[in-house]
């Protein structure tokens, strides 16, 4: 059973949400995480964890793409160097 949310916390959260700033909403939730009912805390933490994993995967893909681009450039330079040496 879900414990009701404190009306003041709810009103404060609604004001932050109305502002439309996602980072401000995240900060508010994290600053007040222990004031939410325990079952809600778990869902919030799971959401933040999932977002972190997705960001980490995106970062890894960017690094991998950069590394692949660098390797491709190095190979192209090596081919150009060999062609120049054969002239």
Q: Phi then psi for 20, rounded to 5 degrees?
A: 75, 10
Report how far apart, in Å, the C-alpha atoms of 59 and of each of 6, 36, 55, 69 are: 38, 31, 6, 15
Report how far apart, in Å, the C-alpha atoms of 5 and of each of 1, 36, 37, 87 are: 12, 6, 7, 78
**What pLDDT was estimated at residue 25?**
92
pLDDT in tens, the chain (87 residues): 566 788 899 899 999 999 999 899 999 999 998 898 888 888 899 988 998 888 888 888 888 888 888 888 888 888 888 888 887
Distance CA 14, CA 58 (A): 31
Residue pair 43/59 in contact by the 8 Å Cβ criterion: no
């Amino acid at each position: 059973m879900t414990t009701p949310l404190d009306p003041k916390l709810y009103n404060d959260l609604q004001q932050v949400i109305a502002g439309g700033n996602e980072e401000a909403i995240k900060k508010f939730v994290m600053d007040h995480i222990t004031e939410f009912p325990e079952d809600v805390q778990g869902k919030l933490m799971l959401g933040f964890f999932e977002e972190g994993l997705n960001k980490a995967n995106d970062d890894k893909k960017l690094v991998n793409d950069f590394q692949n681009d660098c390797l491709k450039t190095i190979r192209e330079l090596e081919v150009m160097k060999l062609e120049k040496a054969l002239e």
